Amino acid sequence: MRLKKALCFIICIFSFVLSFPLGKKDKAEGLGEESGEVNADDLPLEAEDDFLLEGGETESERDLTLKDFATMHNSDFVSAMDYYNQTKMLLKKSECYPVCSLNKIIAERKKQLRAKDKKAVLLEEDEKDIKAVFMLSIVFPEMMRYSAFRDEIETRVTSVMYSCGSDSLICSIGYMQMKPNFASHIERCVKNYPDLEERYGMLNQEGKDFTFDQRRDRIKRLKTIDYQIQYLSAFIDYAVKRYNLSEKEPEFQLKILSTAYNAGLSYSIDDLEQIAKVKAFPNGTNAKGSMWNYSALSIQFYNYITNGFSFD
C-alpha cells in the first residue's frame, strides 16, 4: 500500500511539473477548487503592466468586462464558445434542467422581448434555450480557463491520486472544471432533500468516498459531460433552495450562483455578495493577471447571449 501511494505521488509530481507552464491556473478555492482562497476580506492587487483599452484607458482605471477578456484573450474566448455550444446541445437533448422554479428568468426574458415586439411569444423550445443559457452562464468563465491538453494530463493524475485515497494535488476536470470533492459535496447536499434525491438518483452515492470503487466511480462520472451537466443542475437546485433565490431577479440569481460555484457553498449570502466584488479571475486572488470578477463575467455572458451575441 505504501509503495502504491508513493508511486501515485511520483506520477502526480511529474505530471504536474510537465503541465504547469502549459495551461491556466485553477479557479479560486470553492467546493474543493484550489488556487488561492477567495475570502470576503481579500483585496486584489492590480496587475503590474496595464493593458491599453479603447479610448486610451488602462485596465487599472476601470473594471474590465467580458468584452475586454474576449479582446485580450481572444483564442480562449473563441474556444470557450465552442465548448459552450457543444454543452448546450447536449443539455437541451438531455433536458436535465433544475427542478427549482426558473419562472422569474423566463418572465424577465418575455418582458425584454415584448419591449421590442408587443406580439412576441416564447415557445417551449425558446424557454428551454433560456434555461440552458442561464445554467451555462454560471460555468462559462471556467470554459474560458479550460485547456484540453492540460485537462488530459490533470485528469489522469487526479484519477490515480484520488482513487488511491489522496485528497491533495487533485485537479479540476472537464469543461466545467469540477473536482471530485465538489461532486461528493453535491451528492451529500442532494441527499438532504427528497425531491432532489429522486431527481438526481443517478448521482446518489451519498457523498461517500471511503473505498477505491466509490472514488473511481466518481472520477468516471466527472469525465463525462453528461454527468457534469447533472452535477451543475443539482448544484443550482440546492443553491436556489439554500439561498432562497427563486423569486429574485435573474442578475442577482446569477451573481449568487456563480459566486457560490466559484467560492463555495459554505458562505452565507451576505458573504457571497462581498466575495462577488473581488477580482480573482482567472488566476486567483492577488495574482498577477486576475483583473476580472467571476460573477460579473457570468452575468455579462448571459446578457451577451440574450442580446443576440452583442456586447452592447
Per-residue pLDDT tens over the stretch 87-137: 999 999 999 999 887 888 888 888 888 888 877 777 778 888 999 999 999
pLDDT at 52: 43
Cβ atoms of residues 257 and 30 within 8 Å: no
- 17-74 pLDDT, tens digit per residue, is 444 433 343 343 344 343 334 444 443 333 334 444 455 454 555 789 999 999 999 9
What's the rounded Cα separation, in Å, for the pair 14 and 10?
Answer: 6
Report if pTM > 0.95: no
What percent of the chain stands above pLDDT 70? 80
The DSSP 8-state label assigned to residue 201 in this structure reads G
Question: Got the DSSP string for 95-146?
Answer: T---SS--HHHHHHHHHHHHHH-TT----HHHHHHHHHHHHHHHHHHHHHH-
